[in-house]
Amino acid sequence: MTNPHELTITRLIDAPRQAVWRAFTDHLAEWWCPKPWRVEILDQDMRPGGRSAMIMRGPNGEESPQEGVYLEVVPHERIVFTDAFTHGWNPAGPFMVGTLAFADEDGKTRYTASARHWTAEAMQQHDSMGFTEGWGKVAAQLEEVAKRIA
């Protein structure tokens, strides 16, 4: 059953799953936010309970800090993270639980990214912020990096 407050995109990435995984783990700063935005990675402790911290920076000096924790990391298959907690399990104002899934499909990678929200209002806010377009651009940038390093 799909969560009623979930937004999802899926893409078939023309690169093997191992390359897509490496693009995530080793090249995150190259694709994580839609250009011309860029991201500064502060910490990516990719294990359950590990800290995820970054600052997204816009072309006009905008800054959007993001901090959360990883809930699940299954190498080459799945990453689940949330902003409901900061490092040390300190509660934060929750917005979403994100899931990135990677699966083999005919020599390529089926990439599925979803964001589950606590409320319909939060989901609508994320949708209005450009979820589909933004996360779609990010998926395309992920593919570019994965193809380059494959």
Please check whether residue 5 is in contact with residue 116, taking contact to mean a CB–CB distance below 8 angstroms: yes
Q: How far apart (Å, rounded) are the C-alpha atoms in residues 134 and 24?
A: 17
Q: How far apart (Å, rounded) are the C-alpha atoms in residues 21 and 48?
A: 17
Helix spans in the chain (H):
17-27, 120-128, 131-149
The tens digit of pLDDT for each residue in 120-145 reads 999 999 999 999 999 999 999 999 99
The tens digit of pLDDT for each residue in 26-52 reads 999 999 999 999 999 999 999 999 999
Place of tokens 């893409």: 11
| More confident: 138 or 3 | 138
Q: How far apart (Å, rounded) are the C-alpha atoms in residues 130 and 125?
A: 9
What HEC string does 43-105 produce? EECCCCCCEEEEEEECCCCCEEEEEEEEEEEECCCEEEEECCEECCCEECCCCCEEEEEEEEE
Peptide bond into 4 cis (omega under 30): no
Six token digits for residue 75: 């190498």
Residue 4 has what pLDDT?
Answer: 87
Query: Could you tell me the pTM of the whole model?
Result: 0.91
